[in-house]
Amino acid sequence: MKTGIRDETLLEQKLALSAYLDALLTDETESLPKADAPVEVLSPAATPEPVTESPQPLRVDGVPDWAQTRFQALLFEVAGLTLAVPLVKLKGVVPNEHGLTEMPGHSSLFLGVTPYQGVQSKVVDTARFVLPKDRVTQLDEDISERSAHLVVIDEGRWSLACTKIGDVIELDAEQVKWRSAAGKRLWLAGTVINQMCALLDIDELTQQLVDGMA
């Protein structure tokens, strides 16, 4: 009896995760009309460059350049959600042994800084960044468990706090359900179909983090 109940619970969790990942991919941005207005009013000649030209070299048919051929990705877990980072965009993975120096005056999204190969790497509360609001409110105030390991990106400038490190997997573009062009979560490259996990777009993610620090 207990086994049956446990199986049903796991099935419900998988279905909920599948629905959440699908929602991440298909949700359309609510601010698209607002983003167009300043382009026309403030600088019609200059602003289209970063908006229209920058993403084009990175994607072919919705697939990033690093996924045009078979690629590897590292799995890691954040508050029960499995994420994947392309190895080509990964700087390193380290246990959080040095602790974090807090950053007064910054958003709760940023946990602090930690030394990494001569750089003060800014540590992100990844769970707060990627989880839906209803899940964020359930997060434990004690961050020690969800920052036990650090996934280092952007040449060491940023570290993604996580609960545990998983395996390295090999993927083809066909094994990923890629984010639609209208998707508002630019940090999400797509979802890995078999593993049911979110594949991160590190370039977009780091840009959002930089904007958040401004």
pLDDT digits (tens, 9 = 90+) for 84-141: 999 999 999 999 998 999 988 888 899 999 999 999 999 999 999 998 888 888 898 8
Number of domains in the chain: 1
Q: For tokens 């930690």, name the residue.
A: 114
Question: Which residues are CB-neighbours of 179 under 8 A, at least 6 positions away?
Answer: 24, 25, 62, 185, 186, 188, 189, 190, 201
Q: What is the mean pLDDT of the chain?
A: 80
Tell me which residue of 57, 66, 101, 103 sits closest to 84, measured CA to CA. 66
Task: Collapse the DSSP code of 108 into the 3-class scheme (helix H, G, I; strand E, B; otherwise coil) and give the result.
Answer: coil
Cβ contacts of 1-4, under 8 Å, gap ≥ 24: none
Domain extent at residue 61: 2-213
- pLDDT single digits (tens) 175-213: 999 988 767 889 999 999 999 999 999 999 999 999 876
What's the burial of 122, exposed, middle or buried (CB within 10 Å: 0-12/13-18/19+)?
Answer: buried
More confident residue, 13 or 72: 72
